[in-house]
Structure 1
Amino acid sequence: MAQTTNTILMIRPVNFRMNEQTAVNNYFQEDLNLKNAEINAKAQEEFDAFVEKLRNVGVNVIVEEDDKLMDTPDSIFPNNWVSFHSNGDVGLYPMFAENRRKERRDEVFMRLESEGFKINNIIDYTSAEDEGVFLEGTGSLLLDRVNKKAYCALSPRADEELFIEFCEDFDYFPVVFTANQTVNGERVAIYHTNVMMCLGENFCVICLDSIDDKKERKNVLKHLKEDGKDVINISEAQMHQFAGNMLQVKGAKAQTYLVMSQSAHDSLTEAQVEQIEKHCPILSSSLETIETCGGGSARCMMAEVFLPKE
């Protein structure tokens, strides 16, 4: 069982813009006051440069074009609707925003199969949408695949009961907590766990200040420590620069990289960079438009493929 993979699925945007349906509880989104066509063109430029950087270090990036007819402004973030597992299982997840539900496309599975990957079983949670219950893939679920633990910060997009169900189905031990951010002077739930936390092979980047409940914070730390993770704590201000939204991936010769946006990289202190680089080099790319309008960053754009090969 590996924590990192060499294969990443990414969806190239064709209708990227600020999604009005997700803005209600994603406080990382901002309006750029640009025409949508301009926003999409900038997002495509950032996307293409990012893919090129990943491929240059030997990451196998499978790029699937979004469907123009779908009007799916957030399709660039596929990790919220699907997860791929080493036993050939695929998880399909219920999405909070109605226009994001159209992102789930069979063509994506067909593409992976055409690349030689094997899909044995699809575990589909999407009927929970009818009850207004959501769990947005590896945005909501942070998987320690080696130690079989799943971390989840509860929010309007991460339901506790459904999370427990996922853990039973996929055989993970659940670590549940609440993570907050300050918005207009009030503490409100952070929409996705992967904005405040990143799990690497031997380390974890986490915004501990966002876990207001001391018992919960202690419990999360206990699990990380007992699994030998080096804990790299970031501030709430750094989290707002997407310093929690990172992913460790494998490049050529099994060399791992911690992938993040330029703004996340720029927000880190020298000591934090040093702590990360003890484990692996950093790979960063400018994702300014995507972060500002989409309210998501590097991690959200990469769906890890752990599926077995034929």
Structure 2
Amino acid sequence: MQQTTDTIVMIRPVNFRMNEQTAVNNYFQEELDIKNTEINSKAQQEFDVFVEKLRAVGIHVIVIDDIVSQDTPDSIFPNNWVSFHKSGDVALYPMFAENRRRERREDVLLRLEEEGFNIENIVDYTSAEDEGIFLEGTGSLLLDRVNSKAYCALSPRADEDLFIEFCEDFEYTPVVFTANQTVDGKRLEIYHTNVMMCLAENFAVICLDSIDDKKERKNVVKHLKQDGKEIISISEAQMHQFAGNMLQLRGRNNQRYLIMSQAAYDSLTPQQIKAIEKYCPIISSSLETIETCGGGSARCMMAEVFLPKA
């Protein structure tokens, strides 16, 4: 079992803007005082440059265009509605925002089959939406595929019972906790696990300060150390620059890379950069518009493909 893949799906935006339906509990989103058409065109530029950088090192990026008529402002973050597994299973997830549910597209799965991947089975959790229960893919779930552990920070978008059900279905050991950020002087739940934590093969980048409960924090650290991962701690201020929203991928000749935004990279200290580069080079790209309006960053834009080849 491998922790990293060399293939990802990315959705090129056609209607990107600030999604008012997600802003209620995504405290990373901000309004930009420019027209939506301009926001979308800036997002497209950032997207295209990012894809080029990934392809340049041999990462296989399957780019699929968003559909204008769907009016899905957050489609650029496909890792929330789908995950692709080594077993040939594809999981479909229940989404908090109604307009995000339209992002789930069968043609994305067909495209993967056209690319030679084998889909054996679809595990569909989306009926939970009818009960107001959500679990937003690898935004909510951080999968340690090698050690069969799944980390999840509970929030309005990550339901504990559904998380446990996922772990039973896919045979992962659940590691559950709550992560908070300070918003207007209050401690509020962070909307997705993958903004405060990144799991790579030999290390984890994590904002331990966001886990207020000491017992829970100790438990997370225990699991990471047990599996031999070096813990690279980031501050809450760095997390706000998306320093937790990173993903390790494989490029040409099996070379590993840690992918992040320019803002995330710029927030890191020389010591943190050194700690990461001990394991793999860093690739960063400016995602300023996407981060500001979307409240998500590099990791959210990449849906990893672990499916077997047909």
TM-score by length of 2: 1.00
Following superposition of structure 1 onto structure 2, how do residues 119-268 of structure 1 map, counting pairs within 5 Å? 119-268=119-268
SS in 1 for 2:272: helix
* d(CA) in 2 for partners of 1:44, 1:118: 30
Residues 60-79 of structure 1 show CA distances to partners (whole Å, capped at 9, x for unaligned) of 00000001100000000000
* d(CA) in 1 for partners of 2:47, 2:256: 21
Q: Percent identity?
A: 79
User: Unpaired runs of 5+ in structure 1?
Assistant: none
Q: What is the identity, as a one-letter code, of the residue corresponding to 1:286?
A: S
Residues 75-94 of structure 1 show CA distances to partners (whole Å, capped at 9, x for unaligned) of 00000000000010000000
- CA shift, 1:32, in A, is 0.4
Following superposition of structure 1 onto structure 2, how do residues 1-310 of structure 1 map, counting pairs within 5 Å? 1-310=1-310
Residues 2-40 of structure 1 show CA distances to partners (whole Å, capped at 9, x for unaligned) of 000000100000000000000000000000011100000
* d(CA) in 2 for partners of 1:128, 1:33: 36
* d(CA) in 2 for partners of 1:36, 1:70: 16
* d(CA) in 2 for partners of 1:66, 1:99: 14
* d(CA) in 1 for partners of 2:152, 2:238: 20
* d(CA) in 1 for partners of 2:44, 2:58: 21
SS in 2 for 1:220: helix
CA RMSD of aligned residues (A): 0.2
* d(CA) in 1 for partners of 2:56, 2:135: 33
- CA shift, 1:213, in A, is 0.1
Residues 117-142 of structure 1 show CA distances to partners (whole Å, capped at 9, x for unaligned) of 00000000000000000000000000
* d(CA) in 2 for partners of 1:128, 1:34: 36
* d(CA) in 2 for partners of 1:67, 1:117: 23
Number of equivalent positions: 310
SS in 1 for 2:244: coil
The ranges of structure 1 where at least 4 consecutive aligned residues each deviate by more than 6 angstroms after the TM superposition are: none
SS in 1 for 2:26: coil
SS in 2 for 1:28: coil
* d(CA) in 2 for partners of 1:280, 1:203: 10
* d(CA) in 1 for partners of 2:109, 2:68: 18
* d(CA) in 1 for partners of 2:32, 2:271: 33
- CA shift, 1:105, in A, is 0.3
- CA shift, 1:185, in A, is 0.1
* d(CA) in 2 for partners of 1:203, 1:99: 35
* d(CA) in 2 for partners of 1:215, 1:123: 33
Q: What is the identity, as a one-letter code, of the residue corresponding to 2:2?
A: A
SS in 2 for 1:204: strand
- CA shift, 1:114, in A, is 0.4
User: Unpaired runs of 5+ in structure 2?
Assistant: none
Q: What is the identity, as a one-letter code, of the residue corresponding to 2:158?
A: A
* d(CA) in 1 for partners of 2:125, 2:75: 19
- CA shift, 1:147, in A, is 0.1
* d(CA) in 1 for partners of 2:278, 2:269: 14
* d(CA) in 1 for partners of 2:110, 2:166: 24
* d(CA) in 1 for partners of 2:177, 2:90: 25
- CA shift, 1:160, in A, is 0.1
SS in 1 for 2:112: helix
* d(CA) in 1 for partners of 2:118, 2:301: 22
TM-score by length of 1: 1.00
